[in-house]
Amino acid sequence: MGDQFHFSSKLGVIGRMLDDWDVSRNTKEEVIEKYNKFWGKKYGNKVMPLSFHNLPKSFRGDSTIDIFWYCFKHSYLLRDLDFPALKNLSLRMKHEFYMPGEYLYKCGQFKTKMYYIVTGVVEVVGGNERSSPMISFLDGTVLGEISFLRALKSIVNLRCATYTNVQSVDMKSLSRLMIKHEDVNKELNRKLNSRLQLAREMQNSELVKFKSRAQKRNLNLELRRGRPLNG
C-alpha cells in the first residue's frame, strides 16, 4: 500500500510538471497512461520491504525459497541441491523487471547472471542488434546457467520483446554458496561437466552425420560422373 501511495504522489508531481510546461491534454493523458501501464506491469515485482530484513534469517529463508522454488526446479544445475543450500541461495536472489527492448545479455559481454523468466518473452538476436530474432524464450525458461558459472562471453544478444519479469542470481552469490557448502561445489561441477560432455557428444554426433552426408553426396557425384571409386 505504501508503494502505491508513493507512486501516486510521484504521478501527481509529474502531472503538475506537465501543466507547468503547458503540454497538450492528449500528451498529458498519454504520459499518465504510460506510467499507469508501467505500474500495472511491474506491480508485485519489487524489492523486499526493509522490515522483512529485520526478521530472523531462518524465517526469511522459509519465505524466499517458496518465492524462488520454480526457478530452482527448472534449473538443471540447482534442482537437485539439498534444501538448506537452496534456502541459503534464495536469500541472495532478486526480482528484476525489464521493458521491451532492454537486454539481459549483450554480445561480447560476460554472462554474470542466471535468469529465470517469470513472465514475458525474451528473443535471441544476432551480433547485429537490428537483425531479426532467431528464437524466442517464454516463461519457465532458465537462461545462462552454464555460461555464468564459467564466466563466458555471450555470442548473441538476449533482448526482451515484451514487459518481462525475471528472477536472477549472480555469480558472486553462487560462489559464496559454493565456498560455504563444499558438497554444493562438488555437485555443481559434476553436473556442469556432465552437461558439457553431453554437449560434446551431441556435437560430435552431428559432425559424424554431416561427414556421412558429405561423403554420400561425393559418392553419388562420382557415380554420376562415371568415375571409378577409390579402393
Query: Mean pLDDT for the chain?
Result: 81
Q: Is residue 68 domain-shared with residue 182, that is, in the same domain?
A: yes
Q: Is residue 59 domain-shared with residue 172, that is, in the same domain?
A: yes
Q: Is residue 14 domain-shared with residue 114, that is, in the same domain?
A: no
Q: How confident is the model over 80-124, as pLDDT tens digits?
A: 889 999 999 999 999 999 989 999 999 888 888 999 999 999 999
Dig out the grid coordinates for 14 from the structure: 509529474
136 located within any domain: yes
Q: What is the mean pLDDT of residues 160-183?
A: 88
Does residue 175 sit in helix, strand or coil?
A: helix
Instruction: Please give the Cα distance from 92 to 180 (Å, whole number).
Output: 14
Does residue 219 sit in helix, strand or coil?
A: helix
Containing H/E element for 203?
Answer: helix 182-225
C-beta of residue 74 within 8 angstroms of C-beta of residue 114? no
Q: How confident is the model over 43-91, as pLDDT tens digits?
A: 555 556 667 778 888 888 888 999 999 999 999 889 888 999 999 999 9
Considering its fold, how many domains does the chain have in total? 2
Give residue 57's domain range: 50-188
Q: Is residue 55 domain-shared with residue 124, that is, in the same domain?
A: yes
* pTM strictly above 0.75: no
pLDDT, residue 159, reads 94
Cβ contacts of 171 within 8 Å, gap of 6 or more: 112, 113, 148, 149, 151
pLDDT at 190 over 80: yes
User: In the chain, pLDDT over 70 holds for what percent of residues?
Assistant: 78
Instruction: Please give the Cα distance from 98 to 164 (Å, whole number).
Output: 5
